[in-house]
Structure 1
Amino acid sequence: MKNTLTFILNLVLGLGYLQAQNIEITGKVVDANSGAPIEFATVKLLDGESKEMIAGTTTDASGAILLTTQRDNFFIEISFIGFITQTISDFERDGRKVNLGTIPLPEDSELMDEVVIRGERSTTEFKLDKRVFNVGQDLSSTGASALEVLNNVPSVTVNIEGQIQLRGIGGVQILINGKPSVLAADGGNALGTITADMIDRVEVITNPSAKYDAEGTSGIINIVIKKEEKKGVNGSVTLNTGVPNNHSLGFSLNKRTEKFNLFSQLGIGHRTFPETFETINSNLSDQSYVRNTGDGEKNETFFNLILGTDYHINDRNVLSLTGNFAYELETEFSTGNFISENRFSGPIAGWVRDESTEATNPKWQYELQYKSDFSDNDDHYLLISALGSSFAKDQMSTFNNIAEFGETALQDRQKTDTDFGQAEYTFKADYTQPITEQITFESGGQYLITDVNNDFSISTLDDGIWVEIPERTNTFLYTQKVLGIYSTGAYEGEKFGLKLGLRVENTDLNTLLEQSDVENNQNFTNLFPTLHSSYKLANNFSIQGGYSRRISRPRLFDLNPFYNIRNNFSIRTGNPELLPELTDSYEITGILDLELISLSSSVYHRYITQTVENVTIFEDNVGITKPMNIGTNKATGLELNGKITPNDWLSLSADFNYNYFNREGTFEASPFDFTADQWSARLTSKFNLPADFTLELIGNYQSAYQTFQRNISGYALADIGIRKKIMKGKTILNLSVRDAFASRIFENETVQNNFSQYDYRLRGRFITLGLSYGFGKGEAMEFSGQKRF
């Protein structure tokens, strides 16, 4: 017992002696320019003779240092990315304490430039089953919206209505961060409040694996929103102004600690979209026609707020909560000058039709996600998420007809009212397990619920009282439930890779026109097999192949039978009996990657059944257009992508897509069979100029092409982007000119046996000047926010 007490006493005295010998080192690290504290700076305590590290730590939120050591011969090294490393060997001791005082770290301009250069990824990267387009390198997207960004992505085209095509074919599914989003819904202005500065990258998936939702016959486009993960405080502020009106302010702020990652983005703005138009409806039987020429403008004020947090429960488990609120206030005005005329007898009547529209579009989205990484492998994880969203639209349009000569059959005044609401819920689980280093298994499921209520009415003014037109007034109810489960297995060796998958989806669709009691119910189950393979023939050359089966279910506005009466002689309506498209897609791609040049070439084929096309029927000089299932479409295409960087100041990128298709089917008991083709090309030249200037020139060409009824004209356009980095890259000045020569004309003509319809529209040139400033540890955003074409 005595020996035990003696041992404990000696131990306590020894520990006290060692504690007494500890040297305590304190200090504070700040930015030499601003004096702001630097959090998470690395502090190393090094042995004075061997130079080996004795101890280390990082600074806290106030920039403070706290270290202890028993060594007498040591020095301190303090570093942080973007700053010049400081070594401190000359310091004073006060007994067993060393106070380093305030240590200013000056920014390293050369290192900052190196970091910026290394951080720039190639504009397009190729993965096994997708291509990744890095938005930050596209200078011409300054002040652009998500739709305009997509229009600059290889293989993707966006028309004036915001309809997106991939390799010349519609039926594209748009995802936000890999999930369906209210911001990409059909209602209102899809993708309107997402601006280029919010986007990290765009993923184009032409042959998705079974892991992805089978929706989208031509593939998937996934827009990935930026979310900063750097420790500390990071942020950016962007400011835009432009002609026509394009004024916006964007703000991003992130805070990363050991346990939490808090992120936020805010965008507000106002913009104007002017337009000139012309439509001609011709009755070829009696040689009469109605022409409408005019102009208009659309004004939008928008607000978008994203808030979210990642809670790192521990090293293996993360819980994320994200909320998004967007709001749009729209006003639209147009004046159409109508004339009714017979080519033999001359003018019949003339009138002016004025439109005034006001609408509000609030949008909500919220998501809870849990990810668990298993301890045996970082690629072994379980991901569970629940997502809810809602979108509402309250819109009223008034139309005033002013007769100039002759008699018209039109009402003097008309009004439309729309009260629209959509709720969507997505529940998803994904499990990934590596069996060996080469073999990986994936499985999961998704349940998607969409619920829509749309009240619509058309009224006329009768003796000062608005009277609804019963046959044009109704409530449209739409409910769709999709349950999908999948499994995939993949082998990735040193040279050869193979991925097989199968997805099963059940769709339950119900629509109801309440007032007229017209109901449409559909329930069907589909199998969607997928196959992907790759083989590396050499270190710089590989071949990829893929097959997938896809579905494109009718969208809400394809089913909704209400009329758009902006032009009473050119009306669009939906089709409640529309069936889904089904596509079998095959693709082979070769990729060559050399030091200065990279090339890829793809040959693809798609076989589409129950093809959906817009069909126009002509009655009493009125063209009524609605989507219908018209036969099959066999499309075969060639796509070429290339990039060459001959020196440090020049890079050239080119994309070419050729699409040949064969359409077969029957319409109104008459069979049809025709072949047609279309092609598009894009050339991007990027110049790194002196004084931190960068110039980008983009040329686009879209050929003319033919659909079931229409001949659509081609167009060429040019975009220009200029960037100037100042304050060592912390501030960026951007200037963009989109459609520099105002040559992007949307023109099409429908010609049938007894009628023809011509449509022309032009939006014109957009010029935007943007300023972006990055603070904390953040970098300046490359772009800011305009909206859509």
Structure 2
Amino acid sequence: MKKLLLLTFILGIFFNAHAQFPGGFGGGPKKSAVTGRITATILDSLTKKPIDYATVSLINVKDNKSVNGGVTDEKGKLSLQNVSPNSYKLMIGFMGYKTKSVLVTTTPSKPDNNMGTIYISSSENTLADVQVQGTKAIIENKIDRMVYNAEADGTNAGGDATDVMRKVPMLSVDPTGNIQLRGGAVRVLINGKPSGTMASSVADALKMIPAEQIKTVEVITSPSAKYDAEGSGGIINIITKKSNAQGVSGSVNAAAGTRQNNGSFNLTAKTGRLSVNTSLGTNLAYAQKSQTEFITNTTYLDGTTNNISQSGFSKWSRNGYNGSVGLDYDFNAYNNISTTAKFNSFSNGGPSETNYIINNVAASNIGDMDMTFRNLDWNVDYRKTSKKEGEEFSVSAQLSSGRTPTSFSNLLTSAAFPSGLQTISNNNGKNNEYTFQTDYTYPFNKKTTLEVGAKAILRDIQSQFDNTAQDFEYNQNVGAAYGVISFDLTKKLKFKGGVRAEYTRIDFNTQSSGIQKNDYLNLFPSAIISQNLKGGATIKLSYNRRVQRPSQSYLNPFRNESDQFNIMQGNPQLNPELSDNLELGYNTFIKGSIINASIFYRRTVGVIENSISPITENGVNKTLTSYINVGTAPVYGFNVFASYNLKPKWTLMTNFSGNTYSVTNNETNVNTGTFFNFNWFVRSAYGFGKGYNFELFNVITSKRRTYQGVTDPFYIYGGSFKKEILKKKGSIGLGVLNPFTKDLHIKTVNNAVNQRGTIYQSQNIYYPLRNYTINFSYTFGKLKFTEKKKIKNDDVKQDQQQGGGMGGGVQQ
């Protein structure tokens, strides 16, 4: 009932606003006023190559005044929106070329006019000795984010999203594909909204996105109050390529390697104002043998000493697919409705064999694991704009439904029980989420803009253990409202600030504790001041407050006994993390180089980390890993990114980031001391001409700390080679990762001290990382990439561990 009331309330807001502004907010046109688009492709008259970044003005023939304008993209394509029916002339200009004028007319019956191909010629005095080529910057710096233009980087072909993420400033990617942003937790969005695939496992989801599908990656270290307040480190928003061209267009990508295969297919059909988009992707990872050596020593535990050592291997396969179907319709230039259904399925698991020495007694175990994630996201979005540039009203709704059947089995044998002891554990998880959102943006003038909005998220998580009665049910409802204003203090000094209020209500039920409830209200202010300096440099100072609500994998008390001597379990009593962030950043361009540097301070209260504690079952001491609110963590850090064109076709790039780690809690006597973590990325890319591109890269990390332990450093290196074929519509390439190192050795040591005694745990894992791939991509049709505004939930702390957590429902 409450969901129906909430939906009625939000739709009431929309219809009331629509009634008050029948012609579009702020003086937009009446419904009968039809506007359209003018499109064209600008090419060099001699080479027939596209002219990117050519300037185009739309001039009214009657009064000779400019009414619209724009620049061409990297394919020479131009699209002018919101054009009223009339007679115009296009004025096309570009450095080194003659200015060209072309007459164009639109009518109420045919508001859209595709001018086709327009050729411009070089100026006579520069034809012989001047070659002008527009180049889109790979890195762009904006007031609240840094943008990596992946489509402008020719070396990305053939890889996946993990390979792209390694090149993005400020990000660090571990061997399994998990991401951190400046040492903090991060929320990953796709096209501004959460993905069911990301919710299950960030690392696996990135492997299923071909690099060719990515347009840009936005790193938002200072999110405004418009965003959900989740993510202590910030937000990563992956923008994918989408087609908005008349006719049919699409792309095919495929890669085959020694460790995994992946492929994708995208197709768009557009006629008039209706477009249909569909995509399908798959990732098939071979069964991999992961050698492990695991040692646990328990000393002075209840006055006794217990030792367990184990070594073995697992042979897991990782297979998944995802797809989407979307419809998009423009009623006219000011009203748009779209809907998209996205589905994904991913399975992870396989057999394992482990040998134990338990207090000098030998034992062996044969295990099997199957973790499956299935999710459906369905959203409907309505957007209304007006003649007033930048004004926009939107209403969005989304349903997300996930299922996660999980099973573990173990058969333990030794001299004491030669026939074996078998344990079987099953969990059926369900996760339903309903989201409603409305936003309104109003520009008072070119210098001042107001943004307001409201949002509601209703979550229902259920988990049933071993075919028994309902064991765990968790309901979380979040209501939010925000206001953001941005304006220019001076010609060079800009300000953007606001506040977001979020009310959270929680109730959950477990068999051991019964029904428990909790609710809290938080205010999240944010502010950014940016100053433009001489030579195109900028400096900015920002502050924001963030929250990390624990996701389902952190909360679900289901016992993951895939390793029956080292058990994992969620904690439904967790409180959210709250962090305050302060950042000072500087960006400049010096003779073909880009330098971006920042320092930051982050203070997080209620830090959530995994915690190891001893348990005793059947006379055997074991370890239980769960999650707790450890304490308070003050973090000081910095990031330096630099890119330099040594030659026009040779680019050197590096990113170095570091931050302190320390946690204190006076109530539990936790004081880790202060440590320093760093991540260093180096890259060299060279274009030989005629479509040949070559790249080398290297990633080096320091040790990683937790309040109980430390993980050793690691390094990753690789290279790629790509050749454009089929008149630049296709490419073929080769890639290699860690060619001289078969396995990546990761060692983690934990020391846990409590009232029962001390636990020492040492874990050595050898990841089979070396990989050789061959890849192919091909695009067909006329492609023009645009994005539509979508609903986005980014308010929960995600499990950053490989495999997506501990066998519960889909994480959201």
TM bracket, shorter-chain basis: 0.7 to 0.9
Aligned-partner Cα distance in 2 for 1:634–1:54: 63
| Bigger mean CA deviation after superposition, 418-427 or 145-154 | 145-154
**Cα shift at 1:329:** 4.2
**Cα shift at 1:594:** 2.8
Deviation per residue, 1:633-683 (Å, 9 max, x gap): 00000110110012122001110111023321146x434251111111101
Which residue of 518, 521, 525 corresponds with 1:525? 521
Aligned-partner Cα distance in 1 for 2:458–2:115: 54
Aligned-partner Cα distance in 2 for 1:566–1:431: 49
Partner of 1:449: 458
Letter of the 1:764 partner, please give it. L
Aligned-partner Cα distance in 2 for 1:306–1:331: 25
Deviation per residue, 1:104-154 (Å, 9 max, x gap): xxxxxxxxxx99x85x74333211101122333567765555455435433
Residue 357 (structure 1) aligned with residue 369 (structure 2): yes
Partner of 1:332: 350
Partner of 1:622: 622
Q: 1:688 to 1:738 in 2, by over 3 A?
A: same
**Cα shift at 1:262:** 2.1
Which residue of 240, 251, 274 corresponds with 1:260? 274
Deviation per residue, 1:382-413 (Å, 9 max, x gap): 1211111111122323222233xx43799622
Local SS of the residue matching 1:211: coil
Partner of 1:569: 565
Partner of 1:371: 383
Aligned-partner Cα distance in 2 for 1:53–1:632: 65
Superposition pairs of residues 128-167 of structure 1, within 5 angstroms: 128-136=143-151, 144-147=159-162, 149-159=164-174, 163-167=178-182
Partner of 1:700: 699
Contact 1:135 1:201 in 2 (8 A): yes
Which residue of 298, 316, 325 corresponds with 2:316? 298
Q: 1:502 to 1:45 in 2, by over 3 A?
A: closer
Letter of the 1:760 partner, please give it. N
Aligned-partner Cα distance in 2 for 1:247–1:268: 8
Local SS of the residue matching 2:165: helix
| Bigger mean CA deviation after superposition, 392-401 or 534-543 | 392-401
Local SS of the residue matching 2:193: coil
Letter of the 1:416 partner, please give it. S
Contact 1:142 1:735 in 2 (8 A): no
Partner of 2:509: 512
Contact 1:685 1:696 in 2 (8 A): yes
Local SS of the residue matching 1:674: coil
Local SS of the residue matching 1:366: strand
Task: Specify the structure having the higher radius of gyration (Cα).
Answer: 1
Q: 1:140 to 1:598 in 2, by over 3 A?
A: closer
Contact 2:156 2:212 in 1 (8 A): no
Residue 771 (structure 1) aligned with residue 767 (structure 2): no
Residue 717 (structure 1) aligned with residue 716 (structure 2): yes
**Cα shift at 1:548:** 0.2
Residue 184 (structure 1) aligned with residue 181 (structure 2): no
Letter of the 2:773 partner, please give it. T
Aligned-partner Cα distance in 1 for 2:163–2:310: 28
Which residue of 437, 442, 450 corresponds with 1:428? 437
Aligned-partner Cα distance in 2 for 1:45–1:206: 43
Contact 2:585 2:596 in 1 (8 A): yes
Aligned-partner Cα distance in 2 for 1:711–1:52: 67
Deviation per residue, 1:455-487 (Å, 9 max, x gap): 123xxxxxxxxxx9x9xx962111111111000
Contact 1:281 1:569 in 2 (8 A): no
| Bigger mean CA deviation after superposition, 751-760 or 604-613 | 751-760
**Cα shift at 1:776:** 1.5
Contact 1:637 1:659 in 2 (8 A): yes
Residue 495 (structure 1) aligned with residue 489 (structure 2): no
Deviation per residue, 1:724-773 (Å, 9 max, x gap): 11122111112222343446433210124522111222232122211111
Residue 251 (structure 1) aligned with residue 251 (structure 2): no
Superposition pairs of residues 467-478 of structure 1, within 5 angstroms: 475-478=471-474
Partner of 2:409: 398
**Cα shift at 1:161:** 6.2
Local SS of the residue matching 2:243: coil
Aligned-partner Cα distance in 2 for 1:766–1:708: 34
**Cα shift at 1:691:** 4.2
**Cα shift at 1:79:** 5.1
Residue 604 (structure 1) aligned with residue 622 (structure 2): no
TM-score norm. by structure 2 comes to 0.76
Deviation per residue, 1:38-85 (Å, 9 max, x gap): x9999x999xxxx98677799xxxxxxxx9xxxxxxxxx99538xx89
Contact 1:139 1:696 in 2 (8 A): no
Aligned-partner Cα distance in 1 for 2:101–2:78: 21
Local SS of the residue matching 2:212: helix
Partner of 1:18: none
Letter of the 1:351 partner, please give it. A
Mark the runs of 5 or more structure 2 residues left unpaired by the alignment. Answer: 1-76, 81-87, 91-99, 108-112, 122-130, 786-800, 804-812
Residue 221 (structure 1) aligned with residue 239 (structure 2): no
Local SS of the residue matching 1:153: coil
Local SS of the residue matching 2:561: coil
Local SS of the residue matching 1:558: helix
Aligned-partner Cα distance in 1 for 2:662–2:568: 26
Partner of 1:27: none
Which residue of 375, 380, 389 corresponds with 2:400? 389
Aligned-partner Cα distance in 2 for 1:52–1:219: 47
Q: 1:671 to 1:187 in 2, by over 3 A?
A: closer
Contact 1:140 1:737 in 2 (8 A): no
CA RMSD after TM alignment? 3.3
Partner of 1:4: none
**Cα shift at 1:536:** 1.1
Contact 1:662 1:676 in 2 (8 A): yes
Q: How many residues align?
A: 667
